Amino acid sequence: MIILLNGPSNSGKDTVCKLIRKILGRNMTVEYKMNRPLRRAFKEMFGMDSQLTDYLLNEGKDKPLFQDNPITPRQWIINTSNYMIETFGEDIFGAIAVHSMAGIAFEHCVIDCGLAPEIKPLQKRYGYDKVHAIQLSRTGCNYDNDSRSNLDFVKLDVPFINLVNDYELELLERQVEKILIKWELISDE
């Protein structure tokens, strides 16, 4: 099964992914991020090591890349993403994901996604009944300064569950377990 995670920055997508992988088994469950090609391009374009790239694309994403140029890593990612979409079509990152995942053996894949057109290639490749979603929200988290948004999974014909991540980790893990039980990925024992 493909499990899509959708939510604003800091809503807990990485944590939920780790919990899903823990519950379903790390050797059966892989993680993929739709921004992976952009992160790799950023690293190569500027010739940075992995540690500096991680810093600039996380904590430093809203700081200018260079003293004499106001562009931030976030803006570079958004601009490059827009160029790719304009050049290759709105589903390009979904198509890249399908191609990237072709050589990987997995039973489940957790994918961080934020643009509706990314989903169609996944549905076509893995089956409409094999793509589900968790839509995360958290008090104080929003899509300001982000190219992603809350996806309309009803319109996209993707079964989904809303998950409010306003509580401690133990409760979040129980919420994730309940979702996986509902989808019959684990038993209710």
Domains of the chain (ranges; CATH) run 2-36+93-182 (3.40.50.300)
* All residues at 6 or more sequence positions from 147 whose CB lies less than 8 Å from its CB, including other chains: 78, 81, 82, 114, 115
Residue 11 is classified by DSSP as S
Residue 94: pLDDT over 90? yes
Q: What's residue 150's pLDDT? A: 86
Q: What confidence category does residue 28 fall into, taking pLDDT thresholds of 50, 70 and 90? A: confident
CB atoms within 10 A of CB 68: 5
Query: pLDDT by residue (tens digit) across 129-173?
Result: 999 999 999 999 988 877 677 899 999 999 999 999 998 999 999
Q: What confidence category does residue 180 fall into, taking pLDDT thresholds of 50, 70 and 90? A: very high
Q: What's residue 103's pLDDT? A: 82
Q: What's residue 149's pLDDT? A: 77
Across the range 27-33, mean pLDDT stands at 91
Q: What's the mean pLDDT when you consider all of the chain?
A: 92
Q: What confidence category does residue 111 fall into, taking pLDDT thresholds of 50, 70 and 90? A: very high
The arrangement of strands across the sheet holding 2-6 comes to: 29-33, 108-112, 2-6, 131-137, 160-164
Q: What's residue 178's pLDDT? A: 96
